Amino acid sequence: MSEAQARLRQAVRDVRIAVLFSTRLPLGHAQQVDGGDLARASWALPVAGAAIGGVGAAVYGLAYALGFAPLIGAALTIAATLVVTGALHEDGLADTADGFGGVATAQRKLEIMRDSRIGTFGACALVLSILLRVAAIAALAEPAAVAPALIAAHVAARAMLPAFMRMTPPARTDGLSAGAGRPTLANAVIAAFVGAGTLAFALTISGAAISAAALAIAAVCAARISLRQIGGQTGDVAGALEQVGELLVLLVATVA
């Protein structure tokens, strides 16, 4: 096998790992994804985002063609992405909101975040996240506007995760984030370029620039807050950051 063939095979394997981790899409025989696999394949997380956004765009297009109002189509779109992802990042958002929302020690916050029960802060965060995303998609209204914005949101929100994981140490010695370790600089750069390129293709120049700046600020703020709150990042914090990024891009798309 040549070096080029080996690299291509590894790239295909990384994409498969990213999709398996990020979605519930059937990919033949599923494989167990551990932290090391995820770190190595982190550059491909935006590719998985494109698949998720594409599913959402298809559902919205179908709802629009059937004559549903934009608000109903938007709600069905978010429901479809929740099904595809298994609400992976929504779970992280709720856990992070519950952990960071209360007054407690860092250790207690980590215990709250690991608890499967949802609290007031988590419930409010989920309601606001879903409500604002539905409203943003409904505001875009036309499928020709919704599809690129939705795909760009899912791609770009995941594109900043490798850089965030690289700049912020794990808060725990166990768990997926600790097992993954720091993605390589090359992975973080590749993911960022994929995200930036998708924004530039899907949005206006100003919209892409504003979205990229907002995502960068969100990642830096998330790193600072998580360091202050729990001494580092966890998979839940990364999931919460993805939700914030997704929402930021959709909101920018409605005005840019």
pTM of the model: 0.92
Q: List Cα–Cα distances, 177 to 76, 165, 168, 183, in angstroms.
A: 31, 8, 10, 10
CB environment 147-169: b (16+ within 10 A), e (fewer): bbbbbbbbbbbbbbbbbbbbebb
SS3 of the chain: helix, strand, coil, percent, to 5? 80, 0, 20
CB distance 116 to 213 below 8 Å: no
CB atoms within 10 A of CB 192: 21
The total number of structural domains that make up the chain: 1
Say what the pLDDT of residue 160 is.
96
**Which range marks the domain in which residue 80 is found?**
3-255
- Kindly state the greatest CA–CA separation across the chain: 57
The DSSP 8-state label assigned to residue 67 in this structure reads T
Virtual torsion, Cα 197, 33, 110, 184, nearest 10 deg: -50
From 43, 79, 75, 87, select the one nearest 187 (Cα to Cα): 43
One pLDDT digit (tens) per residue for the chain, 256 residues: 677 777 888 888 989 999 999 998 877 655 666 557 888 899 999 999 999 999 999 999 999 999 999 999 999 999 999 999 999 999 999 999 999 998 778 999 999 999 889 999 999 999 999 999 999 999 999 999 999 999 999 999 999 999 999 999 998 777 666 666 689 999 999 999 999 999 999 999 999 999 999 999 999 999 999 999 999 999 999 999 999 999 999 999 999 8
